[in-house]
Structure 1
Amino acid sequence: MSTTHEITLFDNDSETELYKHKITLERIKNELISFGLTANQSKVFIYLGKYGSKSASEIAKALQMPRTETYHLVNSLQNMGLVTAELVHPTKYSAMEMKQAIETLVKQEQQRINTLAGKEESLSKLWKEVPFFVVETDESKSEKMQLLHGMGPIINKIKEMTETSTDSIKIYGSIPDVLRLYHSDVFDWIDESSSELQMVISPLSKTPEFISEIDSKKIRAITSDSDKKCFIINDAKEILIFMRNANHATRQTFAWWSDSETLVDMMSSLFDLSWEKGDSLY
């Protein structure tokens, strides 16, 4: 007697009709992961959302997962408020609508952030109660570096740089890089500081609308194919270099921060040379 295998949205190949859906659902799965779900939680949620009410054994069979792990996954999704259980035997599980699920995840994250923010004062107070045991020495200041992963930590670092800036902020990048900084309010922070902005855009084939909001005297454009370079220099004392810039997805972006005097001087020279060779926008 032959058995039929249910084709799921996660195991079809390029020759099946479902392949176009697989690509889309893989994107949805990755987005759900960014909201805090694991890869397997995302698969179970998507499966229930597209195949309807299923038992744990049906889910395990369709997604080729161990049954014990499947029970754990549906229970965790229940705890997160993304899945409901029907009082039948065997128990059937259903996923809520995607819009409602995202709203639930966002609210949970906001509550978590509010809880953490509420602990800020008490934790700072406890921290101050413990004395420092640093021994003062005559050694020169050591240079520091920091690797930042994802636009969240990177933008926070840029905000720190603008808040401490007193003289100048120099930005070198492509249009996508500058556009990402614009949408992250970086230029608003610079306006609020006492520092002067200088920006070199490479290459500039078409002037985006947001550029018109910035004083054209602060911008130079150069003809170059080096659109992978993006860095920010603050007061000639610290630099943030994008190792993976706006050509990559937000979560894949990497940046390297350092207060190395040698590195800052070298990159400042590169910026100043580009500024001198650059053309005014108008």
Structure 2
Amino acid sequence: MMTGMFMLFNNDEYKEPIERIIRVLLDLGLTLNEAKVYVYLAKTGYRKAIEIAENIGIPRTETYQILNRLQSRGLVIATMEHPVRYAAVEFNDLLKTMINVSMERLKEFDRRREEILQVWNNLPEFAKTSCDDKDRFQILEGRDNVYARISSMVADAGELLMICNEVDALRMYNYGIIDVIAKCSNVKIISSVSPSMASVFMDVGLSNVRRIESKFPLVIIKDRKEMVHVIRERNKNDTAAIWTDSTALIESILALFSMLWKDVDDSKQ
């Protein structure tokens, strides 16, 4: 029998939101079929394993394995009857569970960091080469990776020069980067952030901000020696940036920054 969930997977009207939810579940560590099983159960209620297998289109043996894994992670519950029926926990509960698990894993890595670094440092190097005399670059893909690189770069900066638009400023605020930038001794910001959103900077004591109308892509220069420049940002997964320590490229952006800084009036954000 065809169920509503089977139709939902194959309904063009719901294709985009279903794909978005599936991507979230994949980001949280589920496999594709685990994500499908979860969504199916969450939207259809209690189901037998055979129903799940038939309506999603996966082998029954794999279905049982998936259900066991989801149960062990606290994402699926089962009835005490024969045959057993399965149901998914609420989506909000799944998010809380998966986020907590991820945070605990990160905390465990942080607790073991010194031990892991010691093991790494005890490994020998073999004819290790360097390229100190060459310009270097790094292409970053995905918003999380881009902002993680920015966060790492600005953490020990003395001077920071930044050009950003309002969306960039809000994202950096949400990622906790604005708080890190505020700790730098010398910060200059050129931004198209609206006066009503100026608190993004003011709340953390960043006052050396000049406002422009034009919207430039995000650029951050650290100590005039390295730079991150966002070159594409359509959505979370389709975001790209370049990191570089190229003197020529950095000096070009510094010239642009100096020109903009002189051309705009101080704005009391």
Give the TM interval when normalised to the shorter protein. Answer: 0.7 to 0.9
Aligned residue number for residue 173 of structure 2: 182
Q: 2:57 aligns with which of 56, 60, 64?
A: 64
Aligned-pair CA distance for 1:102: 2.2
Task: State the Cα distance separating 1:59 from its structure 2 match.
Answer: 0.9
Residue in 2 aligned with 1:153? 145
Q: 1:29 to 1:146 in 2, by over 3 A?
A: same
- Going from structure 1 to structure 2, the CA distance change for 1:7 and 1:51 (only over 3 Å counts) comes to closer
Which of 235, 239, 256 is the equivalent residue of 2:223? Answer: 235
Q: Which runs of 5+ in 1 are unaligned?
A: none
Say whether the 8 Å CA contact 1:83–1:94 is kept in structure 2: yes
Alignment partner, residue 252 of structure 2: 266
Are residue 223 (structure 1) and residue 213 (structure 2) matched? yes
Counterpart of 2:87 in structure 1 is 94
In the alignment, the residues of structure 2 paired with residue 118 and residue 205 of structure 1 have an alpha-carbon distance, to the nearest angstrom, of 41
Shift of 1:25: 4.3
Residue 208 in structure 1 maps to residue 207 in structure 2: no
Q: How many residues align?
A: 264
Question: Residues 4 and 44 of structure 2 are in contact (CA less than 8 Å); yes or no, is this contact kept in structure 1?
Answer: no
* Cα displacement (A) at 1:123: 1.8
3-state DSSP class of the match of 1:232?
strand
- Write the letter of the residue equivalent to 1:127: W
Matches for 1:244-259 after TM superposition, within 5 Å: 244-245=232-233, 248-259=234-245
Paired amino acid for 2:170: L
Deviations 1:3-29 (A, max 9, x none): x53332212244xxxx4xx65444433
Task: Say which of 3, 7, 25 aligns to 2:4.
Answer: 7
Gap regions ≥5 residues in structure 2: none
Aligned residue number for residue 49 of structure 1:
42
Cα deviation for residue 128 of structure 1 reads: 2.5
Report the 3-state secondary structure (helix = DSSP H, G, I; strand = E; otherwise coil) of the residue aligned with 1:249: coil
Q: TM-score, normalised by structure 2?
A: 0.84
Identity %: 31
Q: Counterpart of 1:229 in structure 2: which amino acid?
A: P
Q: Give per-residue Cα distances to partners, 1:18-66, cap 9 Å, x unaligned.
A: x4xx654444333222222223222211211121111222012222333
Q: Which amino acid aligns with 1:6?
A: T
Letter in 1 for 2:260: S
Distance 1:156 1:215, change over 3 A: closer
After superposition, where does 1:35-46 map in structure 2 within 5 Å?
Answer: 35-46=28-39
- Deviation of the 1:140 alpha carbon: 5.0
Give the aligned partner of residue 165 of structure 1: 157
Is the CA contact (8 Å cut-off) linking 1:222 and 1:277 kept in structure 2? no
